[in-house]
Amino acid sequence: MTTLELEKLLQELCSLPSENEWVEFKKAEHDYSFEELGKYFSALSNEANLRGKDAAWLVFGVDDKTRNVVGSQYRMQSGGLESLKHEIANHTTNHVSYIEVYELTAPEGRVLMFEIPPAPRGVPVAWKNHYYGRDGESLVALNLEKLERIRRQPPIDWSAGLCHGAKLSDLDPEAIKKARYEYKRKLSEGSSRIDPTEVDSWDDMTFLNKARVTIAGVITNTAIVLLGRPESVRFLDPAIARMTWILRDQDNQTIDYQHFDPPFLLNTDALFARIRNLTYRYLPDQTLFPTEIKQYDSYVIREALHNCIAHQDYEMHQRVNVVETPDELIFSNAGSFIPGSIDAIIEHDAPQEFYRNPFLASAMVNLNLIDTVGSGIIRMFDRQRKRLFPLPDYDLADSRKVMVHIHGRILDERYTKVLLANTNLSLKTVILLDRVQKQVPLTKEEAKQLKTQKLVEGRFPNLFISSGVAAVTGDRSKYIRNRAFDDAYYKDLVLKYLGKYGEAGRRDIDDVLTDKLSDVLSEPQKRSKIRNLLYAMSRRDATIQNIGSKKASRWILTDRGKENLALFSDKKI
């Protein structure tokens, strides 16, 4: 907004009869409580939704009683306001993270105006998992009646939005031709009552209406995304429709990139062609597998990319990204992961009930871009499983983004592939084993399930694939590195070191033992293991003695330690 627009808006807000549910004034004379601020963002966003407002406003630097500008020093430091958006996003339902902060310098002082978008239809906004609202000027918990009113709202489907003013000439003729071809293929593969040859007799607009890309002859956002000429994206403004391919080296440095605008129906193939998909070569002695195989399955690449297009939140003004590294492909799209978790999809094995872009997803099914809405993720897992590659990883840490990692190489724990070849294992069990090889923590119940099937060993939470599986793959050396030796073995090493050198500090003993401890232990766990071992040897066994200080330990053998050392066989450290 321009300064004149902000001044006019501030005047309008200040002229309201009183503070209401969607406007709040604060003097903000000091560093306002971040906790209280988050509650207000939640409350004002929810109330703006319920009252059909385009935005709610939180104004700092204005006296809430007199409506006089008094000025605010809130977050005067450089970058303080920009970082606020990220801080708020970490604790709120994703939509409220798109707040805009306007700074107005008035003669009486500095005014901050927070523009807070209304809660999305059907999705109340929470602050730290609690919903807030307003009772007149008071901040209160959002009552159940208001909460349910928001939740019952049918979401607006952006992809079904009409592009008034757009014409058939704004669509790419080659994309329409391709759409006809794919639509006929889809009809011939299914049980539709429409004869595929009938499609040839339709004019373009009739075809687009039948394929549910347009609505009653009007161009939709979906039509622009899938079939639009590059310059037609102006009809989507301020939403963004763009895909970007990025190539990075082993140091994560970008060495090449390319942007792809609509028509996505054609340009998904163009992006796919940029992915190198190199040949992966297995070790010669692993006869279970072919000598060579492509890093990535074509279906998995296309499904991951098409899912990004179907589920992208285009109003978040971000791109669909495909990042290619030497070892993996990373797909990302804006918007939360609506099913909540991958476990929920695998558990129910059924299409979800709601979609961010149902009109777009339906059109993509009709044009043969995706098989059936909701089944693609499970098929991706199955394809990777059959190729004996690691399963896809869904990174959902950022509630505003979905990131999918597709691995293009076998991980060090090669014995997992033997289990993947066993058709008796459920996909859920395979997912758990995949997490073990990636050292992703399991719950106690999940670990128990794998142990019952004798698929893993180790003490929870430090699990590794069992020795039986390691023996099958010939990866016994890896198994030995994961397996913990008896404490007697480590004590033997300490006694032999002290017998040879007379004394040792803690660093010396760490050097002797650390690389011999189980690889499933973290560095802090290894240090703790050595500390407990030394304590047992000095207090319980009385084989060593600390002659140093608490801060600088120096260990020597006791008489009993020398006696025990004489009994041991001559072993090298």
Predicted confidence (pLDDT) per residue in 225-254, tens digit: 999 999 999 999 999 999 999 999 989 999
Give the pLDDT of residue 570: 47
- Ramachandran category for residue 562: left, alpha or beta (phi over 0 → left; psi -120 to 50 → alpha): alpha
The DSSP secondary-structure symbol of 350 reads S
Put simply, whether the predicted model's pTM sits higher than 0.85 gets the answer: no
Residue-level pLDDT at 572: 43
Confidence (pLDDT) at 191: 60
pLDDT of residue 475: 55
Q: Return phi, psi of residue 260, to 5°.
A: -135, 120
For the stretch 441-466, pLDDT in tens is 889 989 888 888 888 888 888 887 77
Q: State pLDDT tens for residues 483-493.
A: 556 677 788 89
Reading phi first (left if > 0) and then psi (alpha if -120 to 50, else beta), residue 443 is in beta
State the DSSP H helix or E strand holding residue 311, giving kind and residue range, or none if neither: helix 298-311
Q: Which residue has the tokens 């639009």?
A: 228
User: Which region, left, alpha or beta, applies to residue 212 given φ > 0 means left and ψ of -120 to 50 means alpha?
Assistant: left
Nearest to 499 by CA among 558, 455, 415, 547: 558
Distance in angstroms (rounded) separating the CA atoms of residues 309 and 352: 17
Q: Which residues pair with 279 in a beta bridge?
A: 294
Supply the pLDDT for residue 215.
93
Q: Which residues contact 290 (CB under 8 A, 6 or more apart)?
A: 282
Half-sphere exposure of 181 (CA within 13 A, CB side): 8
CB neighbourhood size of 497 (10 A): 20
Q: What is the mean pLDDT of residues 523-527?
A: 84
Considering only CA atoms, which of 279, 272, 280 is closest in space to residue 324?
272
Instruction: For residue 152, give the nearest of 117, 119, 126, 116 by alpha carbon.
Output: 119
Going along 174-311, which residue ranges are E strands? 243-248, 254-260, 279-281, 292-294
- Among 52, 74, 72, which residue's Cα sits nearest to residue 62? 72
Tell me: the pLDDT tens digits for 137-156?
889 999 999 999 998 887 78
Count the Cβ atoms, other than its own, within 10 Å of residue 448.
12
Please say whether the beta carbons of 112 and 72 come within 8 A.
Answer: yes
What's the distance, CA 287 to chain centroid?
A: 36
Average confidence (pLDDT) over 386-414: 84
Residue 328: the pLDDT is 95
Mean pLDDT for the chain overall = 84
Question: Is 121 in a helix, a strand, or coil?
Answer: coil
Q: Can you list the domains of the chain with their CATH numbers?
A: 3-154 (3.30.950.30), 156-410 (3.30.565.60), 416-482 (no CATH), 487-567 (1.10.10.10)
User: What percentage of the chain carries pLDDT values higher than 90?
Assistant: 40
Residue 169 burial by Cβ neighbours in a 10 Å radius (0-12, 13-18, 19+) = exposed
326-384 pLDDT, tens per residue?
999 999 999 988 777 787 777 766 555 557 899 999 999 999 998 765 567 888 998 88
Query: Are the C-beta atoms of residues 456 and 464 closer than 8 Å to each other?
Result: yes
Of residues 287, 290, 338, the one with CA closest to residue 310: 338
For residues 80-98, average pLDDT:
67
DSSP E strand stretches across 249-301: 254-260, 279-281, 292-294
Backbone angles phi, psi at 123, to 5 degrees: -130, 90
Which CA distances in Å does 82 have to 395, 492, 565?
25, 59, 65
The model's pLDDT over 166-221, given as tens digits with 9 standing for 90+, comes to: 999 999 999 999 999 999 998 887 666 778 889 999 999 999 999 999 998 999 99
Judge if the upstream peptide bond of residue 107 is cis by omega within 30 degrees of 0: no
Strongest mean pLDDT among 120-124, 215-219, 321-325, 565-569: 321-325
The alpha-helical segments, DSSP class H, found in 438-486 are 444-452, 467-473, 476-482
> Could you tell me if 305 and 270 are in contact, meaning their C-beta atoms sit under 8 angstroms apart?
no
Looking at the predicted structure, is the pLDDT value of residue 27 above 90? Answer: no
**DSSP label at residue 554:** E
User: What's the pLDDT tens digit per position in 281-291?
Assistant: 655 444 454 55
Instruction: Pick 570 or 56 by higher pLDDT.
Output: 56
Nearest CA to 456 out of 438, 473, 470, 443 is that of 470
| Bridge-based pairing state of the strands 464-465 and 328-334 | unpaired
| Tokens 């700092």 belong to residue | 60
Give me the mean pLDDT over the 550-573 stretch: 76
- 114-139 residue pLDDT tens: 999 888 888 899 988 899 999 888 89
Inter-residue contact 169 to 228 (CB < 8 Å):
no
Mean pLDDT of 43-70: 90
The CA–CA distances, whole Å, from 490 to 18, 55, 135, 531 equal: 76, 66, 67, 12
The mean per-residue pLDDT over the stretch 308-333 comes to 95
Question: Quick one: pLDDT at residue 313?
Answer: 94
Long-range pairs of 416-421 with CB within 8 A, sequence gap ≥ 24: 416/390, 416/465, 416/469, 417/288, 417/289, 417/388, 417/473, 418/288, 418/469, 418/472, 418/473, 419/455, 419/465, 419/469, 420/385, 420/386, 420/388, 421/288, 421/388
